[in-house]
Amino acid sequence: MYMKFHHSQPTMKVENRVDIFNRVRDIPFRITGKNSMYCFKKCKLLKRELENIGISSKIMIGNFKWTDLALPANICKFIEKNSEGHAFLSVFIPEKNIWVNIDPTWDSALRNVFQISVWDGINETILMTKLSRIREYKKAGFFKRLFIKFKRKFVEEKNYAFFVQLDNWLDEIRGHIC
């Protein structure tokens, strides 16, 4: 059953938003490999799924430091670039006529090491960590995207060794969850 709200978009029940959020959040967070699903990819997927049910959203970007997270020292020693960008969503809540921030980054299998976002479909969630320089994501122009693609293909990411170690550690944690 649809209800009419913001800009006459059909909006599904709050429970549908929560189900979509939980499904995307619980895709295992990974930075490396073909099955990578890091914050930006999760936000793009969540944005598309929410828009399919009439909920408007914007991808937001902020900066954080890896060393602000509760990571083991043996993982942190691989960090070459501490400052990193982080994506989360700002979602329009038609029932309240406001925008709220939600963050699907950490999957619930990581609940023993990170605070996991829980969304009730109406209010904000926690963000994965403290962020600075928060702004709306704007897609780069064609030539900048081409340059970034070229760079990713031929220049190794500074933090690649750290990302591999982080992914392995997260997989190990997931293996210990009952």
Per cent of the chain over pLDDT 70 is: 84
Q: What is the pLDDT of residue 100?
A: 98
- Gap between the Cα atoms of 61 and 51, Å rounded: 19
- Gap between the Cα atoms of 111 and 43, Å rounded: 20
Question: Does residue 131 contact residue 86 with C-beta atoms inside 8 Å?
Answer: yes
Per cent of the chain over pLDDT 90 is: 77
30-34, 132-136, 143-147, 150-154: segment of lowest average pLDDT: 150-154
- At residue 53, does pLDDT exceed 90? yes
- Gap between the Cα atoms of 131 and 68, Å rounded: 10
Q: In what order do the strands lie in the sheet with 98-102?
A: 98-102, 83-93, 57-65, 132-136
N-terminal to C-terminal alpha carbon distance within the chain: 37
pLDDT, tens digit (0-9, with 9 covering 90-100), for 58-115: 999 999 999 999 999 999 999 999 999 999 999 999 999 999 999 999 999 999 999 9
DSSP three-state, residue 35: coil
